[in-house]
Amino acid sequence: MAKPRKPTNPYHQGPISDHFNGTRFFNPGGVGPGTLRDLIKWKWGGEKPAPWPKSFPSPFAGNKPAERIEGAGLRVTMIGHASLLIQTAGLNILIDPVFSERTSPFSFIGPKRHNPPGVAFTELPPIDLILVTHNHYDHLDLASLRMLQASFKAPIITPLGNDTIIRRAVPDVDITVTDWGDRTEFRDGVIIHTEPCHHWSARGSRERRMALWAAFVIETPQGKIYHIGDTGFHDGINYRAAAEKHGGFRLGILPVGAYEPRWFMKGQHQNPEEAVEGMRLAKIAHAVGHHWGTFQLTNEAVEEPVKALDEALAKAGIEAQRFRALRPGEAVDVPRN
């Protein structure tokens, strides 16, 4: 009988490390994604997702950002779900830009928007840099990256393997590919640090964990920003490590949605209570919450993350204005202290 063929990685070939076994990436000391059996249990095991309204419009929709934020200013604007615009030190940085109607490999099926982008593509200011955390469809949207390349030719920083996916669709793009622990000097005193988070990756069922996922620390003259991307709490290990390495943050951008049912989602998506604890552990002065209210990916009700975040902040004795779950188009000017 012929031996089964060892899977090959179509995205990345490189040396074995503490989070790459030569074929697949993994979370050191952590857990992998759920199995097909787990997925079937979730989808057909009687745990029904809470109904969402067909439309969940944002009162902040139609925001037109400033062209630049200079001086000591730091502004973050929610585009929707996990897509955000950061403006500071005269730079405009987009994270995980998704302007498409669905987060899916298909245009006719898959999670659909319950609200349009809070900032229309045509209202974006000049984009200087794009950060892509990982390759799930609600974070890496090739159609959006093609449009951004055509309009701005902004360079992209992304972790190992995702560059291959992007280059197939946008061949002339300027990409810097990074591993956990890497430091990328951008310009004007801005440094992008690629850091670990507890997640996974896949564009299809046969290449799970073959591209890396990551958090980013954006080091600027106006303070440090910790964007942890999608993450499970992982006993707070990565939050503690970030604080030890970087000494705290002016701003944290933390996911607060897509966390139910806990038995299935705990390893990949933290809940609001864990996000608040992460804020404390990483020594984050102010935080904004994302990854909720636009695409229904999991079981919780559309506004449940906001309610749970308010409860967690009250329980932790943290002022509500220090950690706000943003709606599409909503912008926050982050205090300096």
Name the phi and psi angles at 211, rounded to 5: -130, 150
Res 205: pLDDT: 79
Asked whether residue 213 is domain-assigned, the answer is yes
Asked whether residue 55 is domain-assigned, the answer is no
Query: Could you tell me how far CA 336 lies from the centroid of its own chain?
Result: 24
Strand partners, 324: 288
Res 297: pLDDT: 96
Asked whether residue 158 is domain-assigned, the answer is yes
Strand partners, 331: 77
Number of domains in the chain: 1
Asked whether residue 41 is domain-assigned, the answer is no
Res 2: pLDDT: 54
Is residue 329 within 8 A of residue 63, CB to CB? The reply is yes
Handedness of CA 152, 155, 157, 158 (dihedral sign): positive
Asked whether residue 4 is domain-assigned, the answer is no
Asked whether residue 220 is domain-assigned, the answer is yes
For residue 261, give the nearest of 45, 112, 113, 80 by alpha carbon. Answer: 45
Q: What is the largest CA-CA distance in the chain?
A: 69
**Sheet arrangement for strand 223-227:** 183-185, 191-195, 215-220, 223-227, 249-255, 284-290, 323-325
Q: How far apart are CA 188 and CA 218, in angstroms?
A: 12
Within 10 Å of residue 109's Cβ, how many Cβ atoms? Answer: 9
pTM, two decimals, is 0.96
Asked whether residue 76 is domain-assigned, the answer is yes
Q: How far from 58 is each of 51, 52, 104, 110, 310, CA to CA, in Å?
A: 18, 14, 23, 22, 19
Asked whether residue 270 is domain-assigned, the answer is yes
CATH number at residue 146: 3.60.15.10
- Helix axis angle, 272-281 to 237-246, nearest 10°: 30
Query: What is the domain range of residue 255?
Result: 61-333
Per-residue pLDDT of the chain (337 residues), as tens digits, is 556 666 899 999 999 999 999 999 999 999 989 888 888 888 887 788 999 999 999 999 988 999 999 989 999 999 999 999 999 999 999 999 999 999 998 888 899 999 999 999 999 999 999 999 999 999 999 999 999 999 999 999 999 999 999 999 999 999 999 999 999 999 989 999 999 999 999 998 789 999 999 999 999 999 999 999 999 999 999 999 999 999 999 999 999 999 999 999 999 999 999 999 999 999 999 999 999 999 999 999 999 999 999 999 999 999 999 999 999 999 999 998 6
Res 5: pLDDT: 66
Q: How far apart are CA 328 and CA 115, in angstroms?
A: 8
Q: How far from 238 is each of 136, 156, 206, 253, 267, CA to CA, in Å?
A: 21, 24, 28, 14, 13
In 189-329, where do the E strands start and end?
Answer: 191-195, 215-220, 223-227, 249-255, 284-290, 323-325
What does DSSP say about strands 223-227 and 175-178: parallel, antiparallel, or unpaired?
unpaired
3-state percent breakdown (helix, strand, coil) of the chain, nearest 5: 20, 20, 55
What is the H or E stretch that residue 144 is in?
helix 142-152
Res 206: pLDDT: 86
CA–CA–CA angle 286, 282, 237 (5° rounding):
145
